[in-house]
Structure 1
Amino acid sequence: MKLNGAQIVVECLKEQGVDYLFGYPGAATINIYDELYKSREDITHILTSHEQGASHAADGYARSTGKVGVCLATSGPGATNLVTGIATAYMDSVPMVAITGNVSIPMLGKDSFQEVDIQGITFPITKHNYMVKDVNILADVIREAFYIAKSGRPGPVLIDIPKDITSMTAEYTRKEPKVYDKPQNFHIPEKLVEIINKAKRPMIIAGGGVIRAGASEALMTFVDKTKSAVANTLMGIGATPYDHPLYTGNIGMHGSLTSNRLVNECDLLMVIGARFSDRVVGNEHKFAKEATIVHFDVDPAEINKNVVVHEHVIGDIETVLTMLNEVIIDKDAPEWVEHVAYMKKEFGHQVNYDTVNVPHMLKRIAAHCKPTDIVTTDVGQHQMWTAQHYPFMFPNRFLTSGGLGTMGYGLGAAMGAQFANRKDRVVMITGDGSFKMNFNEIITAVKHKLPIKIFIMNNNALGMVRQWQNLFYEDRFSSTDLGEDIEYVGFAKSLGAEGFVIDTVDQIDDVIEKAFSSNKVSVINCRVATESNVYPMVPPGFAIHEAIDQPDQIGK
């Protein structure tokens, strides 16, 4: 049947099973929005307060479900406002399709009103992108975009559609979505099996690739059979249950002392679905010097990119681990298991329960939450403390910006996650600096009656930068002290949300209970000390096993 381009866009979204679409309309997308209005019983469009909020919401939807998140913006500034969210998804391998409008084809290249080369702008931060200049290929482009976004190593795909394409007609025939079948023809080298079986002190670094591949269960079988200590990167948190006896915590610049030190004690280091980020490796010349390093990844471009490894396997992580679990021995390594337990006890994270501080708050929030509740963060000190102290038990429950480090990510992601997971509680942990980046999305959350709980760890500062100024710049606090510039309770109430304050220890549980019992967006202003720093920390140029837990250790 003959449909116009706008109708084809909406019909293809229906084909792909899209239930939520996050966006902001404009002249270049008005035809698409007219068709969305007609199809509002099939696709719920969420009007965000800003296009960046739409991109982060699509990201949070995708991370919490494993499905493709979708966002839509008009041309020019609408399209460029998606860029930060697209880059965030790209760095963290999140499946997303971003659709943008553009000026009509005859107006392209003429600096027309609200014209921008969004295809060129997003070329480095997408798996693939398109400008559709022929309505006859529009449907196939959309179908291919969804397939690319979720296949292999997931990531964002952008489709730019000139306005006149949305009014031109073409033949449309409905098609079932193409299913991504994970390749099964991997070769597991006998030498690798031998290396794993012979290792006496094995360790695993599990990254976000484990979660994206749905491989957490296969990973834990692998951990139990090999008796490997297992640490998570920031993106891998939740791949390993927090309470597993061989779980050693997160790793890297603010990782646990246990994880960071064991890397230089193990004789076999298996990095699974992670890219050897600089924040994980530290000084690469001193990294895991006693170990044979093996890398498992779906993306061949990551092999030997940051750290040269001894062995590697390229393939879908779940398939690879499942195959390995069938051929490796069920090892008995009591000395190594006992040593891991000793290290966890000796070097575990400490919490001061006598004051209102972020680790203390996180422990109490967790005590009121279910293990299946979803936690989002912004970026900064609060993010690192959350990675250290919150007891995540399942994958896809911790949503945070890792690779790009996007302040302002958390609220949009929380909205996307809450729309997708109506029965689960969504908690956002943020700092006063990050919160100000995108707090306008409270309007969206209130409008849609999303009961998101927003805990602002308010230290009246840009805490992470201030920490570096404290440790390495002789306390020259340039533009990082914020002061008490917002009365958060009044601010929250002015937008239709609820507001609370936590000043003292005896208020913590009472306020959390009140906030959690409310069916409204709740903003909780947690007043914490400005001077608090995140430890452990790996100073610049140090190896991760040289992490410090006191400022006077710098330079030693």
Structure 2
Amino acid sequence: MSTDVADFILDRLRQWNVTHIFGYPGDGINGLISALGRADNDPMFVQTRHEEMAAFAAVGYAKFSGQVGVCMATSGPGAVHLLNGLYDAKLDHVPVVAIIGQTARTAMGGSYQQEVDLQAAFADVAAGYVVEVNASEQLPAALDRAIRTARTRRAPTVVIVPSDVQEQEYTPPEHQFKHVPSSDPGDVVGVITPTEAQVRQAAEILNDGQRVAILIGQGARGAHEEIARVAELTGAGVAKALLGKDVLADDLPFVTGAIGLLGTRPSYELMRDCDTLLIVGSNFPYTQFLPEFGQARAVQIDDDGASIGMRYPTELNIVADAKATLTAMLPHLRRRIDTAWRDTVEKNVRHWWSVLEEQSTVPADPVNPMRVAWELSKRLPANAIVTADSGSSTTWYARCLKFTEGVRGSVSGTLATMGCAVPYALGAKFAHPDRPVVAFVGDGAMQMNGLAELLTIHRYRTEWDDLPFVVCVFGNGDLNQVTWELRAMGGTPKFEESQSLPAVSYAEVARAMGIDAITVAADDDLGKAWEWALSTPGPTLLDVRCDPEVPPIPPHVTLEQMLNMSRAVAKGDPSARHLMYQTVKVKAAEFFTRS
């Protein structure tokens, strides 16, 4: 029985253990859609409301499953819509394969409908591998190489298949000139190990330090036990880059939390005062939040040699697996007898959590957004997955939400694109149908694309275990992160025409789409709202009416930022009085909290 190219592609994906394809149909992939029908929807085609959401869902699936995410789109506009999600995958080092249709080969070059130069369009985002398949003999090498490249380089790759090729009979490559064979799927990505000399040198640097700091990112995820042990022996505090928030639990006394503009005061102090720095699996870019150049001896461990030694003048760079390196290093570390540094770190952490509690419970009008995260922290299930969008809600996720062991979370770390949280959560739910999922979404991102994806969530709810899937909307009527950036970085008052959002009841829209929802308009109602959402089987939405003037104050406010805020107020910020009132209350909560 003959096999079409489209049938072969799906069969090859199954051999690679691909179980889900996130996408949207169109005539450029009619052959593949027909093949999915013949294959009884195996792999499962998950129809999102937009191709960009399909790419984001594939990123979320890959982030939380550890497997390759796969998305699919038609030619022309469908393909172009994938780009933002694929750039998110590229910048956060996530393995995603996009399978894209193209106009028939006979029409190429004739300015045909939906004809776009896709190889040029995807050349940057899929620089590791982008190929157009124009003969069936190119398969399986093209598809296998796309998957292998995505896995080993942790990057997006693209396979373009013209519509007429999809419907051709598949002919395998032969043992002849200019044919490229491929090996069967099943290869395992190996572990890079360090040399003994590197391990000893790294241990010597850490042993010599008196005030050791550790910075971890997502590349340290498989080494959380070893990092905790290194911190115990060296007396170090551990700060976390945004993508590494779930590597170590926040209830460990030496974990200082997030670092950077969205970070904590203890992380800022840890970097300010340390004399030795160990960076594990992180490419954190904001050097102003790292120790002063020359202040600290530094060691970096990362299995990506292209990302190492570029953020801080490190003395030793080890291109190797984090777990393997730290495991080899542990026997060479000496336990620190003097605990003064660790005692200071832990005291700062305890004080900070007290400050956050005070700031989170400061009354606001109508709801303090910090308290949204604070109340969830008290109730967050031990195996929950949390996604957060880009905006001021990211600050509350990074700073106020306390992760315990087993909780997973992620954001668009480097691209920092809006609109990722809901499709990330969708992908996470397909990756782990047996775990509760929570999405933190600003109202700007919800209006941008999140509302439409509520239909997708409702459609597929029966595919998952009857566990909570909570979409929490921070509804403040403002594109809040940009508003605060205008004020604090440019001294510019809020510009209503660009910043204000149209009013809408997210709860009413959710209910119209078949999802249970409630509106929260008072601080004291948040706890009960979370309890309702986390005890309700299936999807729910919390429409939280937040105060836009609760300031996302960085861990260390500079004089320039203070002056810019004053200039914004002086220039006639429309919310000046309430803005200053809330800022003073939040800062007062910090100053008057007991150490």
TM-score, length basis structure 2: 0.85
- 1:259 paired with 2:260, answer no
* Equivalent residue number for residue 167 of structure 1: 167
Q: Considering only aligned residues, what root-mean-square deviation do their CA atoms show, in Å?
A: 2.5
Answer with 466-475 or 292-301: which moved more.
466-475
Q: Which residue of 2 aligns with 1:546?
A: none
Per the TM alignment, residue 283 of structure 1 is displaced from its structure 2 partner at its CA by: 7.1
Which of 380, 392, 403 is matched with 2:391 structurally? 380
Correspondences of 1:104-123 after superposition (within 5 Å): 104-123=104-123
| Corresponding position of 1:461 | 478
Q: CA deviation at 1:426?
A: 0.6
Structure 1 pair 276/288, CA: closer, same or farther in 2 (3 Å)?
farther
Deviation at 1:296, TM superposition (A): 1.4
User: Does residue 183 in structure 1 map to residue 192 in structure 2?
Assistant: yes
Aligned pairs (5 A) from 1:273-292: 273-278=281-286, 281-282=287-288, 287=292, 289-292=294-297
Assess, with a 3 A threshold, how the Cα gap between structure 1 residues 371 and 45 changes in structure 2: closer, same or farther. same
SS of equivalent residue, structure 1 residue 235: helix
Q: Which segment is superposed worse, 268-277 or 328-337?
A: 328-337
Question: Is it true that 1:202 corresponds to 2:212 in the alignment?
Answer: yes
CA contact (8 A) 2:95 2:155 kept: yes
CA distance in 2, matches of 1:375, 1:216: 19
Give unpaired runs (5+ residues) of structure 2. Answer: 174-181, 562-581, 588-595
CA apart distance, 1:188: 4.2
Distance 1:44 1:199 in 2: 53
1:350 aligned residue: 356
Matches of 2:49 and 2:160, distance apart in 1: 22
Structure 1 range deviating more: 33-42 or 421-430: 33-42
Letter in 1 for 2:130: N
Aligned equivalent of 1:432 = 443
Specify the code of the residue in structure 1 equivalent to 2:503: D
Aligned twin of 1:42? 42
Counterparts of 1:542 and 1:250, CA distance in 2? 23
**Secondary structure, counterpart of 2:3 in structure 1:** strand
Query: For 1:514 and 1:255, how far apart are their aligned partners in 2?
Result: 30
Inter-CA distance 55–509: structure 2 relative to 1 (3 Å threshold): same
Q: How does 1:143-158 map to 2 (within 5 A)?
A: 143-151=144-152, 153-158=153-158
Cα distance in 1 for residues equivalent to 2:116 and 2:324 = 42
Among 227, 244, 259, which residue is 2:252 paired with?
244
Aligned twin of 1:418: 429
Tell me the SS of whatever aligns to 2:473: strand
Q: Is residue 500 from structure 1 mapped to residue 518 from structure 2 by the alignment?
A: yes
Which structure 2 residues correspond to residues 440-479 of structure 1 after superposition, within 5 A? 440-449=452-461, 451-471=468-488, 472-479=490-497
Residue 452 of structure 1 aligns to a residue in which SS? Answer: strand
Taking the aligned partners of 1:400 and 1:275, their CA distance within structure 2 comes to 15
Matched, 1:398 2:403: no
8 Å CA contact 1:461, 1:480 repeated in 2: no
Change (3 A) 1:116 1:326: farther
What is the identity, as a one-letter code, of the residue corresponding to 2:318? V
Distance 1:221 1:155, change over 3 A: farther
Q: Are the structure 2 counterparts of residues 194 and 174 from structure 1 closer, same or farther at C-alpha, using a change threshold of 3 Å?
A: closer
Query: Residue 82 of structure 1: CA displacement?
Result: 0.6
3-state SS of 1:209 partner = helix
- Higher relative CO (Cα under 8 Å, sequence separation at least 6) belongs to 1
Going from structure 1 to structure 2, the CA distance change for 1:484 and 1:51 (only over 3 Å counts) comes to closer
**Larger deviation: 495-504 or 129-138?**
129-138
Counterpart CA distance in 2 for 1:123 and 1:95 is 16
User: Residue 143 of structure 2 corresponds to which residue in structure 1?
Assistant: 142
Q: Find the residue that maps to 1:253 and give its secondary structure.
A: coil
Name the CA distance, whole Å, in 1 between partners of 2:560 and 2:404: 31
Secondary structure of the structure 2 residue equivalent to 1:461: coil
- Give structure 1 stretches of 5+ with no counterpart: 544-548
Distance (whole Å) between structure 1 residues aligned to residue 327 and residue 24 of structure 2: 43
Local SS of the residue matching 2:171: strand
Distance in 1, matches of 2:250 and 2:350, equals 14
Choose between structure 1 and 2: higher helix proportion.
2
In structure 2, the residue matched to 1:103 is 103
Question: Match of 2:330, as an amino acid?
Answer: N
* Residues 423, 453 of structure 2: 8 Å contact kept: yes
Note the C-alpha offset of 1:174.
Answer: 8.7
> How far apart in 1 are the matches of 2:340 and 2:437?
41
Question: Among the aligned pairs, what percent are the same residue?
Answer: 26
Q: TM-score, normalised by structure 1?
A: 0.91
Between 1:181-190 and 1:69-78, the stretch displaced more is 181-190
